[in-house]
Amino acid sequence: MANESRPCPCDIGDRFDYGGRGQEVQVEHIKAYVCKPSASTDKAVIVIHDIFGWQLPNTRYIADMLTTNGYTAICPDFFVGQEAWKPSNDWASFNDWVKTRDAGKIDKEVDVVLKYLKDQCGAKKIGVIGFCWGGAAVQHLMLKNPHLKTGVSIYGVISRFEDKHSLLHPTFFIFGEKDDIIPLEQVTLLEQKLKQNCKVDYEVKIYPGQTHGFVHRKREDINPQDKPYIEEGRKDMINWLNKYL
């Protein structure tokens, strides 16, 4: 079978049963998962999902982690009702599938979410994080959206925006050393281009031995040697947000 010859690198490890602490809401034309901290806050983070969509338990787990660190977190359905990718789908059809879901065409949805965060959640300082497809979306937003303060792109697909590096806001890029989707040459080139063109703070960090999907996959029970890097990636993400929000 085509699927078995190319298992999804995002899907490694334990897709754990996680119900989430937040709730699903309707925000104008899109659905979203929202989680709020117990104490009121004016800080919020938009979480942009990967190809597996806004309902993936792993992504909601990260949203809730942000909430335990004092942020309102929202993970909208940036596929706007279109089906998320399933591990059982035939990878031969992936390129056609992803063409209909452009990480650079989410501006309308982001505007709706920003309005919701400001009007309904009292947010004044808003950042964004994203994984894989969502990491590419973060880079897109950091290049053009004036209303966001900072971003964390987590194994974002670099090739999507390889010619654009004049970031408006401080951006942190997380990559795995053994990522089959994002070769290290691409990461090196990204660093060179940022050095030449970027006027704001940025950091590019490569985590030793890590494969695609390591930060938001619960893999501790399968590869104990990865646990420190998973924890480090999450801690670095929180520290970056704390610094710039």
Roughly what angle, to the nearest 10 degrees, separates helices 57-68 and 227-244? 50
**Amino acid symbol at 17:** D
DSSP β-bridge partners for residue 125: 43
Q: State how far the Cα of 59 lies from the Cα of 57, in Å rounded to an integer.
A: 5
* Residue-level pLDDT at 18: 60
Average pLDDT over the chain, rounded to an integer: 89
pLDDT, tens digit, 9 for 90 and up, residues 38-94: 999 999 999 999 999 999 988 998 999 999 999 999 999 999 999 999 988 999 999
* Residue-level pLDDT at 5: 40
Residues 149/158, Cβ–Cβ less than 8 Å: no
Q: Is 179 noted as a catalytic residue in this protein?
A: yes
Q: Is it the case that residue 31 has pLDDT exceeding 90?
A: yes
Mean of pLDDT values over 158-170:
79
Residue 217 banded pLDDT, cuts 50, 70, 90:
confident
Residue 154 banded pLDDT, cuts 50, 70, 90:
very high
Q: Is it the case that residue 12 has pLDDT exceeding 90?
A: no
Residues 211/180, Cβ–Cβ less than 8 Å: yes
- Could you tell me the sign of the dihedral formed by the alpha carbons of 197, 164, 191, 48, in that order? positive
* Residue-level pLDDT at 232: 94
Tokens 């937003």, located at residue: 141
Q: Is 212 noted as a catalytic residue in this protein?
A: yes
Tokens of 219: 């893999």
Q: State how far the Cα of 129 lies from the Cα of 171, in Å rounded to an integer.
A: 10
Query: How is the beta sheet containing 30-35 ordered, strand by strand?
Result: 23-27, 30-35, 72-76, 43-48, 125-131, 150-154, 171-176, 202-207
Domains annotated for the chain, with CATH where assigned, are: 23-244 (3.40.50.1820)
* Residue-level pLDDT at 124: 98
Quote the pTM value.
0.92
Among 49, 140, 212, 216, the active-site one is 212
Q: Is it the case that residue 125 has pLDDT exceeding 50?
A: yes
Mean of pLDDT values over 163-167:
81
Q: What is the DSSP string of 9-33?
A: GGG-SB------SSEEEEETTEEEE
Q: Is 132 noted as a catalytic residue in this protein?
A: yes
Q: How far is CA 76 from CA 29, 45, 241, in A?
A: 10, 11, 19
Q: State how far the Cα of 127 lies from the Cα of 137, in Å rounded to an integer.
A: 13
Among 10, 35, 121, 132, the active-site one is 132
Among 50, 179, 226, 236, the active-site one is 179
